[in-house]
Structure 1
Amino acid sequence: MNELLLGIDIGTSGCKMTAIDRQGAIVDTALAEFHTSRPHPGWSEQDPDEWYAVACQLLRSMWERGRCQPEQIAAIGLDASTHNAVLADGDFRPLRPAIMWTDQRSVQQAARLESQAGAEIFRIGYQKPTPTWTLPQLVWIAEHEPEPLRRTKHVLFTKDYVRHQLTGTWETDHIDAQGSLLYDMAGRRWSEELCQLAGLPPSVLPPLVEPTAVVGSVTQEAAEQTGLRAGTPVVAGCSDSAVEDYAAGAIRPGQMIVKLATAGNVNVMTAKAHPHPRTLTYAHVIPGLWYTVSATNTAASAERWFRDVFCQQEVAQADGAGRSVYEQLHEAARQIPPGSEGLFFHPYLLGERSPYWDANLRGSFVGATMRHGKPHFVRALLEGVAYSLRDCYRTIVDMQLPVDEIRLIGGGAKSDLWTQIISDVFARPVVRPAGSDASFGAALLAGVGVGLFADTVAAAQQCVRIRDVVQPDPAAVNVYAELFPLYGRIHDALAPAYAELARILLESN
């Protein structure tokens, strides 16, 4: 009997799949990383065909393990990081690599859009133009690579490109569309005015559907490539941020999600839209619910960067012992007192979104002395990301949006140390859901789409479980309360220098 649901998450750094039963129990998972190309400072690109190739690889690995089989899959749901547009020709072949949301090349284009049409863009799209959004990226392409834009017949967003490979269909959901800055938020349609700013006719943008809509089924060709059963229903899905909130059980106003993944988010559920220049505004997968986003560009990816650049010896040791290198690093960092003995880390490795909206900011360790060893730097990194998320939360407080519960999600939430630091920096209890990642939420949407659940609320209530609740440590709370303002003052002192550095680098290129 087809009783399992499959969620496919095409994240910024990799692909994760989760198969669950209709009670929400996880049957199997699979994970693999993507390669990100950075040919110039500030650039981030990925090959869309690698997304599908990795998905095929992971599906084959799941069948080989034998915990689930293709004939058991009742439906498939997808999600992905938003903002990333694939420009494709008439045969849906990519015309260039996908510019990722972490790419900063369109700083000047975003600034020009803000100065020339910022009020109109915000009125229609509820967001301010920054290099994160598809609109400034398209303007950059129009100015520097006009040929691919001229040849574009179809625009697909990340999950939609992978789903097209599975089904041959072409559409996107309303939430992913909101991440393009080409969408009319009030009218729930593509905006002709914003498309005109991008130099794109609306006809090349995909038809709009709801996240739980069944939009096609696995083709015979895709079945041969993936091992999936031909004819398996596939639902539209939505953005990773929206489906992560949903998978964590954030289904009512007042709940707040703190996300420790590639990027970091502070998302507050609200009963209506609250557009604000310092935040992002999105619809929830539950009809009528919204969420306000205050986001940092770099969270768990900062630790991955630190691992790759500075921890080759620890990686080799962990591999030899059959354990996670992060577990090994955190074990040592746990011995360092809160505050890392005066060492600060600012995680602006990709510029910054909330609350500064400054693409020129750079990452930094500040306050290093001869006393500090690698465990200090690891703990300072974890604390720096927590401070950055607390910075995001300040915006939520300033907007007077009510928050009665914090739930922590993302890969970083697996770490007991990082979770405790988050609780201490925020000075609030932190709830950790079980199995609360994007692929889990995408699987739930698949179940709603084919009628295994009555609706999105019923699916979450039936399947989302709580792992634990972490309480803040009063002594650590006092330390971080004293250090957090200093973290902000260090940012204020360094920001002008980073602006000057950005000018020098731009002129040298």
Structure 2
Amino acid sequence: MYLLGYEIGSTTIKVALIRSEDNKVIGVGQYPEHDSTILSRHSGWAEQHPESWWQDLCTATRNILSQNQINPRDIGGIGIAYQMHGLVLIDENKKVLRPSIIWSDSRAVTIGKKAFKDLGEKECLENFLNSPGNFTASKLRWVRDNEPDIYDRIDKIMLPGDYIAMKFTGAVQTTISGLSEAILWDFKKKKIAKQVLDYYEISEDLIPEIVPTFAMQGTVTAEAAERSGLVSGIPVTYRAGDQPNNALSLNVLNPGEIAATSAESGVVYGIVDRPKYDVRSRVNPFAHVNYEDNYDRIGVLLCLNGAGTQYGWMKSQIALSGRHYDDMERMASTVPIGSDELCILPFGNGAERMLDEKSINSHIMNLEFSRHSRGHLYRAALEGVAFSFVYGVNLLKELGLEVDVLRVTNDNMFQSEVFSMTIATLLDCHIEVVDTTGAIGAARAAGVANGVYSSLEDALSHVTPSIIHEPRLNQSRCNQAYSLWLSHLDKALFDIPSKANRPEVLRAKNDTLKATIEEKNKELAASAMQLHNKDEFLMEIKSTLKEVGEVASLDDQKKVLQRLITKIESKTDSDKDWESFEDQFNLLHSDFFKKLKSDFPKLSVPEAKLCMLLKMKLSTKEIANQLNLSVRGVETRRYRLRKKLQINKELDLEEFLDRV
């Protein structure tokens, strides 16, 4: 009997075939050979069509069965690993509603940051171990805000692996591990994160049925069998995100064990036995593949978006036609440590969580045309990613993870000795390269739930290192190169102090601010007096209304009421009150209304009030209460306001108002 494993990446679909009797790898493959297309209609966006994953998977399956002359009836189980944090939306007919918003897309950063603040940072970290950040739940909220027609047609939301499992079995399901990576799992309550759903105003009905990571999750349908070259009835018994699955592939299951990979993204993934989190959410804990056994296995993930994507760009854009990574490695190895002061920051693939969700792009520093060659560019690129790993691993050390051994697979940047030795030397650790892949790990995991293997340990008993990289480079030169790289990173992250920050300038600013505060204190006292007078006036009205009840004659009642109306009119001026409020709001929000009226002179007072409430970051429910409207009424007004302000479809309304 054989086991099939898949890894659904954003660049290719990898497939592996394991013979269950001796746990031997019979074949591995991928499709397509070239990188898959990533749609990027706007800066920071990254989307793919889920159907293309399925088509490529079917082709990869037919190819590996044909190449190894395997009868599909001999396949005893299927395991699926997939790119994490993606969002797939389907309607009630299981049709995809829009391209998947994948892991590297950064459009929801602002939404996640606001949720982190509004829900409470401590609350989020203690319950979800993360900020909602730029993860799946925040991406769904983006769809709700910006594509309401699509959102209204959603029947279920899924992660990429859930979608592939559905294409195989027809069953719409997800896992606890998957929900945790979407920031939809509460680790404290051990159930779906209702707080996040409620805050984002998302119905729990959109969450699919939850199944165990290792379980009989369905069987291959006749339609899926026809498309893939398999036969119906084959059980799907495992699914997990690519990084937890990569750790499983390397037999990293227990506290203190650490896995790493550097493919499209770079990842270090360490296992802890209790909830831990970073107060700045620069690293991200998720439920590991064996979390469900005792709710005590959590993987702490450090992610670098650049990594292999950057080095792949170097190959396609800088290397001569026909050159391979081996050629680049040979050229890089002729260049000294530090690349003769040529530095590259590899962060050109969207916002980086370990850099506080900042998107600083990639930078090439100190390039000299008379001094540096392609070899220098290759080594500087490898060192840039290696230095990023070291920078991130030091964050993991702050959480108490010891890094004596890194276990890595052999199908990514760790094949480069320049890259691996740089990391090993700077961290003073050993790097064990294991002859496995995520697809191989998924195939072995598939044999656990259907009883082919007695346990995970049994399934992974063949996992041993084939190469060990030791810290053999010159330590001082590596540290010197790393320090130079860090200085360039700091410059990219933080503004250099300007003349405006000189002590004498700051003192003058301070004096001006003191005078302004004194003036505003006077205005505050005046406002307080006005409120007191308003209270006294309300008491007068109350007294007059009592008098109306004591007057017997209808004519006398009308006279008293008329006097009351005249008195109210003399004491109130709604236009003047609104203008006064605008003045106060402008002080707090940098002339917000002045700019708004200047740019949009036809804006009505109700529309201006809605802008003000959105600027104050109130939720839809809170705005509804303030304006005495239904939630649907507020959404209608938001829609009309977007049209009147002529806001681009890809821009959040709140983000637009923040720029005013």
> What TM-score, normalized by structure 2, do the two folds share?
0.71
Q: Aligned-pair distance for 1:52?
A: 0.3
Distance in 2 separating the partners of 1:310 and 1:474: 27
Show the counterpart of 2:344.
345
Distance in 1 separating the partners of 2:152 and 2:127: 25
Letter of the aligned partner of 1:102 in structure 2?
Answer: S
| Contact 2:130–2:277 (CA under 8 A) maintained in structure 1 | yes
Q: Deviations over 1:110-168 (max 9, x none)?
A: 2221222242333331101322x012212221221111111100111101111111110
Letter of the aligned partner of 1:285 in structure 2?
Answer: V
Matched, 1:284 2:282: no
Q: How many residues align?
A: 487
Distance in 2 separating the partners of 1:210 and 1:471: 39
Q: Trace 1:288-307 onto structure 2 (pairs within 5 A).
A: 288-307=296-315
Please give the secondary structure, in 2, of the residue aligned with 1:355.
helix
Show the counterpart of 1:322.
none
| Contact 1:79–1:442 (CA under 8 A) maintained in structure 2 | yes
Matched, 1:455 2:455: yes
Show the counterpart of 1:489.
487
Show the counterpart of 1:480.
478
Letter of the aligned partner of 1:408 in structure 2?
Answer: V
Matched, 1:400 2:408: no
Show the counterpart of 2:469.
470
Distance in 1 separating the partners of 2:164 and 2:106: 24
Tell me, which stretches of 5 or more residues in structure 1 are unaligned?
319-324, 499-504
Distance in 2 separating the partners of 1:331 and 1:412: 14
Show the counterpart of 1:321.
none
Letter of the aligned partner of 1:493 in structure 2?
Answer: K
What is the RMSD computed on CA atoms of the aligned residues?
2.0
| Contact 1:118–1:128 (CA under 8 A) maintained in structure 2 | no
Comparing 280-289 with 49-58, greater Cα deviation is found at 280-289
| Contact 2:262–2:307 (CA under 8 A) maintained in structure 1 | yes
Please give the secondary structure, in 1, of the residue aligned with 2:65.
helix
Q: Deviations over 1:26-54 (max 9, x none)?
A: 11111124211011111100001001000
Which has the higher Rg, Structure 1 or Structure 2?
2
- Structure with bigger strand share is 1
Comparing 190-199 with 176-185, greater Cα deviation is found at 190-199
Please give the secondary structure, in 2, of the residue aligned with 1:252.
coil
Q: Aligned-pair distance for 1:338?
A: 1.2
Q: Deviations over 1:258-289 (max 9, x none)?
A: 22111111212222221223321122223332
Letter of the aligned partner of 1:303 in structure 2?
Answer: Y
Distance in 1 separating the partners of 2:127 and 2:430: 37
Letter of the aligned partner of 2:129 in structure 1?
Answer: Y
Show the counterpart of 2:16.
18
Q: Trace 1:260-409 onto structure 2 (pairs within 5 A).
A: 260-277=262-279, 278-286=282-290, 287=293, 288-311=296-319, 313-314=320-321, 317-318=322-323, 325-370=324-369, 371-409=371-409
Show the counterpart of 1:150.
152
Q: Deviations over 1:449-470 (max 9, x none)?
A: 110111222222x231221211
| Contact 1:350–1:359 (CA under 8 A) maintained in structure 2 | no
| Contact 2:106–2:351 (CA under 8 A) maintained in structure 1 | no
Matched, 1:102 2:110: no
Letter of the aligned partner of 1:452 in structure 2?
Answer: V
Distance in 1 separating the partners of 2:197 and 2:94: 20
Letter of the aligned partner of 1:421 in structure 2?
Answer: T
Distance in 2 separating the partners of 1:474 and 1:386: 13
Instruction: Name which of 187, 208, 211 aligns with 1:209.
Output: 211
Comparing 188-197 with 221-230, greater Cα deviation is found at 188-197
Show the counterpart of 1:502.
none
Change (3 A) 1:486 1:354: farther
Show the counterpart of 1:138.
140
Please give the secondary structure, in 2, of the residue aligned with 1:257.
strand
Change (3 A) 1:281 1:193: same
Change (3 A) 1:413 1:489: same
Show the counterpart of 1:42.
44
Q: Aligned-pair distance for 1:98?
A: 0.7
Please give the secondary structure, in 1, of the residue aligned with 2:232.
coil
Comparing 403-412 with 55-64, greater Cα deviation is found at 403-412
Please give the secondary structure, in 1, of the residue aligned with 2:138.
helix
| Contact 1:104–1:350 (CA under 8 A) maintained in structure 2 | no
Letter of the aligned partner of 1:467 in structure 2?
Answer: S
| Contact 2:284–2:301 (CA under 8 A) maintained in structure 1 | yes
Q: Aligned-pair distance for 1:368?
A: 1.0
Comparing 136-145 with 281-290, greater Cα deviation is found at 281-290
Letter of the aligned partner of 1:470 in structure 2?
Answer: H
Change (3 A) 1:257 1:125: same
Instruction: Name which of 249, 252, 265 aligns with 1:250.
Output: 252
| Contact 1:268–1:403 (CA under 8 A) maintained in structure 2 | no
Q: Aligned-pair distance for 1:497?
A: 6.1
Instruction: Name which of 126, 131, 145 aligns with 1:123.
Output: 126
Q: Deviations over 1:164-192 (max 9, x none)?
A: 11110111121111111122223332222
- Structure with bigger helix share is 2
Q: Aligned-pair distance for 1:352?
A: 4.4
Distance in 2 separating the partners of 1:175 and 1:186: 15
Please give the secondary structure, in 1, of the residue aligned with 2:354.
coil
Q: Aligned-pair distance for 1:474?
A: 4.1
